[in-house]
Amino acid sequence: MLIDPFRFAKKGDQLEKVFNLKPEGRLEGLITANSDVNLHLEGNMTEQNKFVLDGRITGKVSVQCQVCLDNIQMPIDIDFRLYPVSSEQLAEDMQQEFEPVIVEDNKLALDELVINELILSMPVVTTHIDGEGKDCTDNVSFTSGSLPEVKQDEKKVSPFAILNSIKQKD
């Protein structure tokens, strides 16, 4: 879905939309199954006559726990404020506390906006603690097999034995 963010902000429009995110493209490896998220977007003008988009993304996304490798449903609640601008120069001229979004041809793809905000807000490592508030490490065995048997009758050779033989030659 495309909107003209300048007209949207100037008119003070609002919208609610559900997006079905799929684990492909930029979301491949980030989410593990189709997930529905809700976008609430409001357009406004600031006192300095800047266009502004205030948004909130809520829902649950399916991700993989990096401890036990099970899939979990991670709740998301992302608030954002974007300032649409028409060029990179205008984005560079904005003060650092503003988050500009460069809009070409007065069109902003809302699905890309949702994906961008989700990528920016996801933790680097997802775990059950992030998603469900519980620790899964108690239920996980971190062994990968049995250890090889150590033969008791083998004579242990010191790694410094060679140094001792060199020292005795001098």
Low-confidence ranges of the chain (pLDDT < 50): none
Please give the pLDDT value at position 123: 86
The confidence score (pLDDT) of residue 66 equals: 84
**Can you give the pLDDT at residue 9?**
93
The pLDDT assigned to 70 comes to 86
Please report where in the chains the tokens 């603690």 appear, as a residue: 129
The pLDDT score that the predictor gives to residue 59 is: 95
Give the pTM: 0.73
d(CA 164, CA 67): 46
User: Which distant-in-sequence residues (6+ apart) come within 8 Å of 15 by Cβ?
Assistant: 3, 39, 40, 41
pLDDT of residue 116: 94
Residue with the two structure tokens 């979004």 = 101
In this predicted structure, what is the pLDDT of residue 162? 74
Helices (H), the chain: 5-11, 88-93, 110-121, 128-132, 161-169
100-102 and 71-85 as β-strands: parallel, antiparallel, unpaired?
parallel
pLDDT at site 81: 93
Residue 92: per-residue pLDDT: 82
Give the strand pairing for 108-109 and 100-102. unpaired
CATH 3.30.450 fits 2-95+124-134, yes or no: yes
pLDDT at residue number 125 = 83
